[in-house]
Amino acid sequence: MKLSIIVAILDSHEIVRRQLLHLKKLEIPDDVEIIFMDDGSDPPLEAPDHGLKNFAIHPTGDERPWSWPAARNRAVELARGEHLFFTDIDYILTEEAIREAWAFDGDYMRFTRELAVLDENGDVLQEMVILTAWGCVRRSIDVGMHRCTFAIRKELFLEVGGYDESLIERTHPHYAERNFYNRCMRFLADRKAKFSNVIPRVYIFPNGKFCGARDYNPFGLFHNLVRGGDTMKSNIQRRRDRERRRKGLTNKHKRVRRRLMREGKIMTNKQKRRYWEGTLEKA
């Protein structure tokens, strides 16, 4: 097997259905396998009529919040490919990206991204009016690269040590991702690894930062990154929480200041001016 495509998934059942319809329309080489890791979806993911060659869904059985690092590590244990192509369920793979990763004989490949959605038939749509309906606030569909989607030689992934599963319980899901990326880049630099000169294109659904302060899951087709309470919070939620805390501290400070003024323990602004003008003695 030349290439293993690995996707860790939590819920997002309708998106999984659309992704499978899309993948069936691509001409994928015979020695490419596709592994969907079901990271505790409720109900479990199923695809009895997927019609894809070398495709399988494997449950992780892990109920910890946001345990995709463990899902990716389990997938590597199952993978038969010489190279691993990691991506997420909100990414839409292109035939170009799959074939470039399949033909790649180096160590590490990056991918650039464009905004797009999949309709009910698994077709790729990029019209701005459609992206806006999905909550997108960007004016350009080109959104550059991201470290969560990449291809790597399997033996190198294992030498790096895979994802650090002790970071799964951390508040923000990108801790494990950033940790692996930094370790991987240092390791590849020391080994003088061969990076790809080609940066193929993939698509990504508009969500998260691409939607500003809007609801970035307007149709409820993705999971909301929360499982087991409010362990995970979106960037928008965190900003709102910080603003509430800031306002709360400010209001508390004002209340305490007014009380101390009434008790005569501190001077009012008017009393301060009179003091510095020499018309009021300091108590």
CATH of the domain at 189: 3.90.550.10
CB-based contacts of 96: which residues, under 8 Å, 6+ apart? 200, 201
Q: Are residues 182 and 85 in the same domain?
A: yes
Q: What does the pLDDT read at residue 214?
A: 60
Over residues 120-126, mean pLDDT: 96
- pLDDT tens per residue across span 161-177: 999 988 876 656 678 88
- pLDDT tens per residue across span 182-206: 999 999 999 889 999 999 999 999 9
**Most confident stretch, 136-140, 166-170, 198-202, 275-279:** 198-202
**Mean pLDDT score across all residues of the chain:** 85
Whether the per-residue pLDDT at 249 is higher than 70: the answer is no
- Predicted structure pTM score: 0.78
**Most confident stretch, 51-55, 256-260, 267-271:** 51-55
Task: Please check whether residue 281 lies inside any domain of the structure.
Answer: no
Which stretch of 25-29, 32-36, 223-227, 236-240 has the lowest confidence by average pLDDT? 223-227
User: Comparing 239 with 131, which gets the higher pLDDT?
Assistant: 131
Q: Are residues 47 and 88 in the same domain?
A: yes
Q: Are residues 22 and 135 in the same domain?
A: yes
Q: Are residues 243 and 117 in the same domain?
A: no
Domain count, the chain: 2
Distance between CA atoms of residues 90 and 216, nearest Å: 12
Q: Check: CB of residue 128 under 8 Å from CB of residue 160.
A: no
Task: Please check whether residue 246 lies inside any domain of the structure.
Answer: yes
CB-based contacts of 183: which residues, under 8 Å, 6+ apart? 160, 161
**Could you tell me the pLDDT band of residue 92, with boundaries at 50, 70 and 90?**
very high
Q: Are residues 52 and 179 in the same domain?
A: yes
Whether the per-residue pLDDT at 236 is higher than 60: the answer is no
Task: Please check whether residue 230 lies inside any domain of the structure.
Answer: no
Q: Which domain holds residue 217?
A: 3-221
**Could you tell me the pLDDT band of residue 265, with boundaries at 50, 70 and 90?**
confident
Q: Which two tokens stand for residue 112?
A: 């650039």
**Residue carrying structure tokens 């244990």:** 77
Main-chain dihedrals φ then ψ at residue 185, nearest 5 degrees = -65, -40
Q: Are residues 171 and 94 in the same domain?
A: yes
Q: What does the pLDDT read at residue 227?
A: 38
Distance between CA atoms of residues 24 and 17, nearest Å: 11
User: Comparing 268 with 7, which gets the higher pLDDT?
Assistant: 7
Q: What does the pLDDT read at residue 231?
A: 39
**Residue carrying structure tokens 């009393």:** 271
Over residues 115-121, mean pLDDT: 96
Q: Are residues 86 and 196 in the same domain?
A: yes
Q: Are residues 201 and 272 in the same domain?
A: no
Q: What does the pLDDT read at residue 235?
A: 52
Q: What does the pLDDT read at residue 48?
A: 77
Q: Are residues 62 and 178 in the same domain?
A: yes
Whether the per-residue pLDDT at 215 is higher than 80: the answer is no
Task: Please check whether residue 229 lies inside any domain of the structure.
Answer: no
Q: Which two tokens stand for residue 48?
A: 């009895």
The 10 Å Cβ neighbour count of residue 218 is: 13
Task: Please check whether residue 118 lies inside any domain of the structure.
Answer: yes
The 10 Å Cβ neighbour count of residue 216 is: 22
Q: Which of 91, 47, 107, 38 is nearest to 67 (CA)?
A: 38
